[in-house]
A and B are shown apart, each in its own frame.
Chain A
Amino acid sequence: MSIVIKNNQHNIGHICTTQQLENGLAENVAMRWISANDDRRDYTFSDLDNESNRFANALQKLGAEAGDVAFTFLPKMPEQFFAILGMLKMKLITGTLFANFGEDALLDRLGDSQAKGLITKKSFLKKINRIRGQLPALRWVIVVDGDDHIAENVFSYSRLMAETSANFITLPTDPDTPSMLHYTSGSTGKPKGVLHRHNSIFHQHATTKNVLGLKSTDVFWCTADQGWVTGTSYGIIGPWCQGVTQVHYGGGYDAEAWFRLLQDEKITVWYTAPTALRMLLREDTALFSRFDLSSLRHICSVGEPLNPEVITWARRTLGKEIYDTWFQTETGGIMIANRPGLEIRAGSMGQPVEGIVPAILADDGAMVADGEQGNLCVKAGWPSMFITFINNEQAYNSKFRDGWYYTGDTAIRDANGYYWFMGRSDDIINTGGHLVSPFEVESALLEIEEIAESGVIAAPHEILFEKVVAFVCLHQQYEFTKELELKIRLYVSNKVSSIATPQEIIPIAAIPKNKSGKIMRRVLKAQYLGTEIGDISTLEI
């Protein structure tokens, strides 16, 4: 039996907390919380266990049952970690929502999953209240700020926690029990709910150890938000299931604050995103020489391809290696990676991690030769493989063929076994490490009175890797002005999310469509990039 699983108990919440106490780590710091205002507080594994136990008991009191879906909708804050671990202990299907989601994005996710519960903060209730009438399944809401319950079925976190016990026995949990739920964007249709199971902890444990290179004495900082899979797989599960101290920081990007944190907290392994690293590369080099990074062993990155220039910069300026890693929401854990002990091929995804069998396949399923581009696929059956798209078994099945999971990415494998990301086989936009659905943005744009048609594409961006570019065709009576441009940006930002905001909005006479009415995004992209449009025999306009 794996060292992470004891007594056949696969429960992630239990393993990350109670089991660490059994391992003698009760008084070890599990989380050093640093707020944006630099307030600090340490939580031991014993604290983590007690708080998540209290939350599990509070959920029981509210009538929550195993298999119910509940979400956190919070910025990074300690209560979010306690809630997630408590929900997992209760065997709830535990979803996380990015704090900057707009009401359309929230409605899609809470509605599709038939969520029964939500943990949020008072100021976010405005968004929830605007859509609550369309969420008949939503039974309870807990707000983390405020000492008293707010309304019927809107409860105070602190009051619930004060009234419940810190003792909770997590029931034995089967490896196939559903665990985390993250929604991911598709190029067509609504976002899909990617469901994982408690068994994922095997792979998250192994990759935290073997790829991120974490040891029990490390101090680890993962900058990812818990609204995304990296924030849960490697900002909660991977490090805590092996008793590692994590620093969690509530502030946003600030080069000086980040480097002070790396120095003062003696971070040994730092997991961040290429977008952040590219922003650091633009900072004055003198800034970095002011900080002592002698504790930092290495940096890992994830989210979008890491350009070789950044790796060279880190070696020259920081004296550190950056190991780029690749995985997806669907894979639940790192699949292909550069890592300590493996020669870095700058710009590559690295090599498959232990137990993972990738392949480059042609559209007909045939294996392509090394050096040729094809579909990046992974042999199905790894421990952290998603178990379904909630309410969309057909879409789930369409991702698998002949025992291979088709990732939607295209890549090349070289003769030395390194994989090289080439692009997406669909229209999904990867901006700042977040996937944005062009369909979601186009749908929001069509809700704006002045817009008759819209088409949204990805375009290269120096910092973000890709940016959202929107083409809009206005109704005849309207003109494209700076005021309208701002209105469009704000509408998408507040309805979908800030990351989906078009960075460029281009008025156009008509949106190219094929004969069945499908937006021909590749024509828009070719027009934007000034490249060959290719076959336009099916073009309607």
Chain B
Amino acid sequence: MDTLIQLTTLFREVFLDESIILTTSTTSSDVDGWDSFAYLNILMAVENHFGISISDTEAPNLRNIGDMIALIENKISAGN
């Protein structure tokens, strides 16, 4: 399934909000409740769902959903 679609489903679960629609340019200011605490929930949900590990140095560099998708797809293709 398309990574963006999967991420949208994950975000809806994380924020209990079925109205969330993500695009590659979505940032934290576009999603109600996305603060630094919620970001940790997002990262854990992404790690669990995609079976990847995101390091403390990688996490702060994700400026938008497009960055997140690129990181996820790189990690999946690299097998880590």
Contact = CB atoms under 8 A, between A and B. Distances in A.
Is chain B a partner of chain A in the same complex? yes
A253 B36 CA distance: 8
Interface in B24-80: 27-29, 32-33, 35-38, 40-41, 44-45, 48
A493 B37 contact: yes
Nearest to A491: B16
Interface residues of A, number: 26
Given A37-B29, A123-B32, A498-B33, A100 B17 contact: no
Contacts of A75: 32
Interface in A128-176: none
Among A250, A253, A493, residue most surrounded by chain B Cβ atoms (within 10 Å): A493
A425 interface: no
A290 interface: no
B4 interface: no
Contact of B40 (A123, A250, A501): A501
Contacts of A253: 36
Interface residues on B, range: 20 to 34
A490 B41 contact: yes
Contact of B38 (A35, A126, A498): A498
Interface string A459-490: 00000000000000000000000110110011
A251 B15 contact: no
Contacts of B44: 482, 485-486, 489
Given A252-B28, A485-B44, A490 B13 contact: yes
Nearest to B17: A126
B29 A501 contact: no
Nearest to B33: A100
Nearest to B30: A36
Interface of B: 13-17, 19, 27-29, 32-33, 35-38, 40-41, 44-45, 48
Given A490-B14, A490-B41, 6 more contacts: A486-B48, A490-B13, A490-B16, A493-B38, A499-B37, A501-B41
Interface of A: 35-37, 75, 99-100, 123-124, 126, 250-253, 432, 482-483, 485-486, 489-490, 493-494, 498-499, 501, 503
7 contacts: A123-B32, A126-B17, A251-B29, A432-B36, A485-B44, A486-B41, A501-B38
